[in-house]
Amino acid sequence: MSENDGSQPLRLADEAASPPKRRWAVLAIILVATFMDLLDVSIVAIAIPSIQEDLQATYTSAQWMLAGYSLAFALLLITGGRLGDIAGRKRIFLIGMGGFTVASALCGFATSPEMLVASRVIQGAMAAMMVPQVISTIQVIFPPKERGNAFAIYGGIAGLATISGPLLGGLLLNADLFGSGWRSIFLINLPLGVAAFVAAIAIMPEVRVPLAHTLRLDLVGSFLITVTMLLLMFPLIQGRDLDWPVWALVMMGASVIGLLIFGAHQRARAAKNASPLVPPSLFRKVSFTGGLFVNLAFFAGIVSFFLVFIIYLQAGRGESVLSAALTLLPWSVGIAVASGMGFQLAPKLGRSVLQIGATLMTVAMGGVILTIQMGGADASLWWYVPSMLIGGVGMGLVAPLLVDAVVSDIPHTEAGSASGVLSAIQQAGGALGIALVGLIFFGSVSGGAQSVAESVTPQIRTALEAAGAPGPSIDEATRGFVRCFVDRAEEKDPTAVPASCKEAQSPQQGVPAAVEQAFTKAADDGRADLFNQAMTNAALYNGGIFVLTFLLVFLLPRRINVHAEADAGAPEETPEPAPLS
């Protein structure tokens, strides 16, 4: 097979072209984009309290610093993927990477909450141009015998980036480089983005789809899918903070209608051979359609678990940002160890590899529950190491192989569109999972606060009685404690102090130290009990989602991965590159 040095455009013929010589260097470049995107999803949440304090941002503004990125990213993913097919993957990747880097600079130098929110929206939109090109480029530039290894590296980096956000965020905030504070979490993207942009210009080949000049962006389809994704994603992202108003549920119902209209429009364009945004032929492939369902469930479980587990460690156990992030480190180790194993096992075990991974992740959820039930708030963080390691190995088996399983049968001419759909489904799954786990986790916190608060008041009564306080004062003090505890549990803004707590915390002259200690210990014990139960319920939900993932794998063909088969020695055609015209 002849190899292209990457300096000339490639034009696909018969679903393949000669691979560029520097394809592994190209992989490193596009993986920088993957790392930057996934890192920015999780790293910003760690810095929100610092941002609020510095920019005097409201809780709503702070939430939109997170939601603005996610919403813009999800809305434009499918269009971004198709643009790669039409205009060239290198060109759209460079637009996305350049825009993402500039938007990161705007975030880092933001002088107001409004500027930061707007910059985050731009950052998410540029990521939607950049990210779909990653999977489609891997699909195109690597021959089948190497593609499995490339996807294994991609999956490992993606998994590590997802978990590394809190750790890197904590390190940057603690380091306070050059006095930059929270701004460093955005400014760190500048050297990475500039280096990747320059390197991509130099060595990344431009892959052209045959007759690409005849393709046109389906503007009506782009509008329909953007509106449909907005109808779905906005209520999923903002529903909990708005107490799930009726209009949010109506929007999600309307998204189903929007999806049906979009599907009918795409079929009509395909019938006219008019370049649909998402070719309906993609959904005739069992591996693609079944894989989308598996991805939806998998991301609903994994994204929501990381969210609530970090909250549990920090809010429930009082761990620092770094301690909470380091608790997830064994998960990263598991991903690194197992990310290539799935491709080695797939030729013999097929889809069972994914089910083994899903089983391990279910076991990990059981381990988290067992650790909480046995040790409670007193359990050392070391107790979580086995569960985290097992979960990481499970994710390492699932994540890289699942991507390859979905796109392995997709023609190169439709790789961008397929990549955009896959990424959009992953985003929708993550948002759906967070919405559901939010109902369970935060519902447990607010719903159980009254009974938990009442269960810890005896130690307050004992301390007050020992101090000689009269009965009515004891009753009033315990009622105030319960009221403050419940109000805090129901407060969505973690930085807000409810009025009942301000009253309870007002200075009291002559209060014995033993009484103050009793109040503090009761609050700590109650918080630990409350969050232990909430995390247990959330882990049960996550375990159930991973069981669902296990079952949905049956939708995939038994032999799911042609790339692994090629790597194992299956015969491979050696196509010749088509001449450039």
Within 10 A of 311 (CB to CB), how many other CB atoms are there? 20
How many alpha carbons fall within 13 Å on the CB side of residue 552? 22
Alpha carbon dihedral 179, 185, 191, 192, in 10-degree steps, equals 160
Question: CA 407 to CA 357: how far, in whole Å?
Answer: 19
Q: Furthest-apart CA pair in the chain: how many Å?
A: 95
Q: Where are the alpha helices (DSSP H) in 88-143?
A: 89-108, 113-130, 132-141
Question: CA 556 to CA 495: how far, in whole Å?
Answer: 46
Which residue has better confidence, 3 or 42?
42
What single-letter amino acid sits at 276? P
The two structure tokens encoding residue 317: 């156990």
Whether the pLDDT of residue 175 is over 70: the answer is yes
**Considering the chain, what is the average pLDDT of its residues?**
84
What phi, psi does 51 have (nearest 5°)?
-65, -45
DSSP label of 284: G
Evaluate whether 282 touches 421 at the Cβ level (below 8 Å): yes
- pLDDT tens profile 20-65: 778 899 999 999 988 888 888 778 877 888 888 888 888 778 888 8
Question: CA 469 to CA 472: how far, in whole Å?
Answer: 8
How confident is the model at residue 532, as a pLDDT? 92
Whether the pLDDT of residue 577 is over 50: the answer is no
Least confident segment among 212-216, 240-244, 446-450: 212-216
What single-letter amino acid sits at 31? L
What single-letter amino acid sits at 142? F
- The pLDDT of 99-106, averaged and rounded, is 95
State how far Cα 146 lies from the chain centre: 27
The two structure tokens encoding residue 378: 């007193």
How confident is the model at residue 337, as a pLDDT? 87
How confident is the model at residue 581, as a pLDDT? 33
Least confident segment among 10-19, 403-412, 550-559: 10-19
- The pLDDT of 256-282, averaged and rounded, is 89
pLDDT band at 130 (very low <50, low <70, confident <90, very high): very high
What is the chain's alpha carbon radius of gyration, rounded to the nearest angstrom?
Answer: 26
How confident is the model at residue 92, as a pLDDT? 92
Residues contacting 579, CB < 8 A, separation 6+: 11
- H/E stretch holding 207 reads strand 207-208
Give the dihedral sign, CA 499/502/506/511.
positive
Residue 440: strand pairing partners: none
Question: CA 556 to CA 289: how far, in whole Å?
Answer: 8
- pLDDT tens profile 314-341: 888 888 878 888 898 899 889 888 888 8
- pLDDT tens profile 419-440: 888 888 988 898 889 889 888 9
Question: CA 343 to CA 152: how far, in whole Å?
Answer: 7
The two structure tokens encoding residue 408: 């392995």
Question: CA 85 to CA 94: how far, in whole Å?
Answer: 14
- pLDDT tens profile 143-157: 888 887 888 888 888
Whether the pLDDT of residue 172 is over 90: the answer is no
Evaluate whether 429 touches 299 at the Cβ level (below 8 Å): yes
What phi, psi does 495 have (nearest 5°)?
-90, -10
- The pLDDT of 497-504, averaged and rounded, is 76
Whether the pLDDT of residue 367 is over 50: the answer is yes
- The pLDDT of 472-477, averaged and rounded, is 85
Question: CA 313 to CA 307: how far, in whole Å?
Answer: 10
How confident is the model at residue 415, as a pLDDT? 77
The two structure tokens encoding residue 214: 């005849």
Question: CA 138 to CA 335: how far, in whole Å?
Answer: 20
Evaluate whether 4 touches 20 at the Cβ level (below 8 Å): yes
Whether the pLDDT of residue 507 is over 60: the answer is no
Buried b (16+ CB within 10 A) or exposed e, 264-302: ebbeebeeeeebbbbbeebeebebbebbbbbbbbbbbbb
Within 10 A of 49 (CB to CB), how many other CB atoms are there? 15
Q: What is the 3-state secondary structure (H, E, C) of 498-561?
A: CHHHHHHCCCCCCCCHHHHHHHHHHHHHHHHHHHHHHHHHHHHHHHHHHHHHHHHHHHCCCCCC
Buried b (16+ CB within 10 A) or exposed e, 481-510: bbbbbbbbbeeeeeeeebebbeebeeeeee
3-class DSSP state of 13: strand
